[in-house]
């Protein structure tokens, strides 16, 4: 099974933070304190968020390869699910995604049960923990100028 992180990989977290005047460094995690000034509440944040430009192509590539996937996020799974379903313009994708699981866990590696389980995440530490459990992980590295293209090269080999 494929597990896809939401923030960063699918939702433009850094760009949304900038809308609030907050600088988030690439590949830096754990500096966010929701609802404590100057940080917005999750509802305020996701109301201004945008999907990554590669959201639909990434989902299509996984579906086309016959991959079954779920969304795995550290927090606010229901808020993110509502946001994604509202932003999707493609009815086929929206209907498919509405039936999928959006799982919330701060220990994503707990969902790695088999060697074929895969995690796609922008947090290198989450990917490393996943690999230690025996699974496959792709670090969606935003330090790269072409993170989606890098993923596609990996995915299609």
Q: Per residue in 117-154, pLDDT tens?
A: 999 999 999 999 999 999 999 999 999 999 999 999 99
Residue 78's pLDDT is 93
Residue 25 banded pLDDT, cuts 50, 70, 90: confident
Reported as a single tens digit per residue, the pLDDT across 41-70 is 999 999 999 999 999 888 888 888 777 889
Q: pTM of the full predicted structure?
A: 0.91
pLDDT in tens, 63-91: 887 778 899 999 999 999 989 988 887 77
What is the C-alpha to C-alpha distance for residues 139 and 133, in angstroms, rounded to an integer? 16
Residue 11: closest CA among 56, 55, 58, 64 = 55
Q: Which long-range contacts (CB under 8 A, 24 or more apart) does 125-133 make?
A: 125/29, 126/5, 133/109
List, in order of start, the domains of the chain with CATH numbers.
Answer: 2-12+51-156 (3.40.50.1000)
pLDDT above 90: residue 16: yes
Mean pLDDT of all residues in the chain?
90
> What whole-number distance in Å separates Cα of residue 60 and Cα of residue 58?
5
């Amino acid at each position: 099974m494929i597990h896809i992180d939401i923030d960063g990989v699918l939702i433009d977290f850094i760009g949304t933070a900038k809308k609030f005047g907050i600088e988030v460094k690439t590949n830096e995690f754990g500096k966010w304190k929701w609802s404590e000034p100057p940080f917005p509440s999750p509802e305020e944040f996701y109301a201004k968020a945008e999907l990554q430009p590669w959201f639909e192509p990434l989902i299509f590539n996984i579906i086309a390869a016959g991959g079954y996937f779920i969304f795995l996020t550290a927090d606010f799974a229901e808020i993110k699910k509502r946001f994604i379903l509202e932003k999707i313009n493609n009815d086929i994708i929206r209907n498919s995604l509405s039936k999928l699981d959006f799982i919330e866990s701060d220990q994503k590696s707990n969902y790695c049960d088999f060697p074929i389980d895969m995690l796609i995440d922008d947090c290198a530490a989450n990917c490393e923990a996943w690999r230690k459990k025996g699974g496959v992980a792709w670090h969606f590295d935003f330090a790269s100028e072409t993170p989606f293209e890098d993923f596609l090269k990996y995915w299609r080999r």
